[in-house]
Amino acid sequence: MRNIIIALLSACTLFTAAVRADELQIKEDAPDRYVVVKGDTLWAISGRFLKSPWRWPEIWQLNKDEIKNPHWIYPGDVVLLDRENGTLRLSKNEKYHGHDFEKRSPQTRIEPSANLAIPIISPADIGPFLSQPLVIEKDGLENAPHIIANEESRVAIGAGGRAYAMGLPASGQKQWQLFRPGKALLDPETKKTLGFEAIYVGDARVLKFGDPATIEIIKSNQEVLRDDRLVAASNIDLANFVPHAPSGLVKGRVMAAYAGVAEVGKDSIITINLGTKQGLESGHVLAILRAGEVATYRSGDKNKAIKLPEERIGLALIFRVFDNISYALVMKSDRSIKINDAVETP
């Protein structure tokens, strides 16, 4: 079946997006053609063709403003590798945007909708982290609304249980999230406290406003206790960023791994000691490096010590940024990622 190859739209105008294969390091086993299917991610699709999957925005030749509002691709769109001319072309069906196109042969197309667009990465990997505050200032939850009692004087309740909260504004906001203060987040280099983790407990909705207000626990990751704090639920749109390198050199450290484990691998969440004040933003890709060990060798009649160079062991995608702290998803790891590993511009 012959396929119609139509270039991607940029700012509602048609353009051809092509780059030299050697510049993007095409994989030796890259396919000549790939049809996008439901469940794909842009990172995974790019990984079929490129040795550096995060560089796929360069294929669309996006500028800095366009990177924040990428054109999605959908199931049924075609990705082509032009081996003869040494170019890589990502193509999509213009029909999705209300344009006509030449009909070469009968073929099935899937109409676009918000829930069909191919995401950068799977929302399931980072979904909860997009809606939870995660990092708070010291005493940041002190003045937040809080639970004063659980139904039937229970010490702890779970999903389906009812509780009573003081301080909820009668603003009509019905969806809330429950948190309690967590451990301090220390900069591995300066040992300065950059913030505190907010431990996510669950979700709640208001059944009756008042002081106290009656709330129902609709989801619980752990038992809900008296004095747990409520924060208005919100969501960050995963569609608002795409992978790209920081414009300048940044260098930091892995502060912690989610769930408090010492070592993590691919698809794990890590916390790093860089944030908006250091120029980071959602979508930035950073290389992860293992600090070189100190080796001893014999030189003449003496033993000498030398520090071995850092080695790149993975890639991380920044998806949530605070003033001095960011959360990242490990997209690739050749070895386990440890606390104090370095991160820098790839």
pLDDT of residue 24: 59
Q: Is the separation of the CB atoms in 32 and 21 below 8 Å?
A: no
Q: Which of 95-104, 186-195, 229-238, 284-293 has the lowest mean pLDDT?
A: 95-104
Closest CA to 267 of 313, 316, 312: 316
Q: pLDDT grade, residue 133 (50/70/90)?
A: low
DSSP string, 139-197: TTTTTS-EEEEEGGG-SEE-TT-EEEEES--SSS--EEEEEEEEEEEE-TTT--EEEEE
Q: pLDDT grade, residue 30 (50/70/90)?
A: confident
For residue 41, pLDDT over 70 is answered with yes
Q: Which tops the pLDDT comparison, 55 or 263?
A: 263
Q: Which of 83-92, 97-106, 280-289, 309-318 has the lowest mean pLDDT?
A: 97-106
Q: From CA 331, how far away is CA 309, in angstroms rounded?
A: 23
Query: Can you list the domains of the chain with their CATH numbers?
Result: 9-119 (no CATH), 129-232 (2.40.10), 241-344 (2.40.10.410)
Q: pLDDT grade, residue 98 (50/70/90)?
A: very low
Q: Is the separation of the CB atoms in 280 and 335 below 8 Å?
A: no
Indicate left, alpha or beta for 84 from its phi (over 0: left) and psi (-120 to 50: alpha): alpha
The arithmetic mean of pLDDT across residues 271-282, rounded, is 91
> ∠ CA(185), CA(188), CA(193), 5° rounding?
35
For residue 214, pLDDT over 70 is answered with yes
The arithmetic mean of pLDDT across residues 81-99, rounded, is 54
pLDDT cut 90: percent of the chain above it: 22
pLDDT of residue 251: 93
Q: Is the separation of the CB atoms in 162 and 122 below 8 Å?
A: no
For residue 143, pLDDT over 80 is answered with yes
Q: From CA 160, how far away is CA 158, in angstroms rounded?
A: 6
Q: From CA 242, how far away is CA 283, in angstroms rounded?
A: 5
pLDDT of residue 45: 81
Q: Which tops the pLDDT comparison, 272 or 62?
A: 272
Closest CA to 327 of 185, 175, 171: 185
The average confidence (pLDDT) of the chain is 76
Measured torsion, CA atoms of residues 213, 219, 224, 226, in degrees rounded to the nearest 10: -10
For residue 16, pLDDT over 70 is answered with no
What global pTM score does this model have? Answer: 0.66
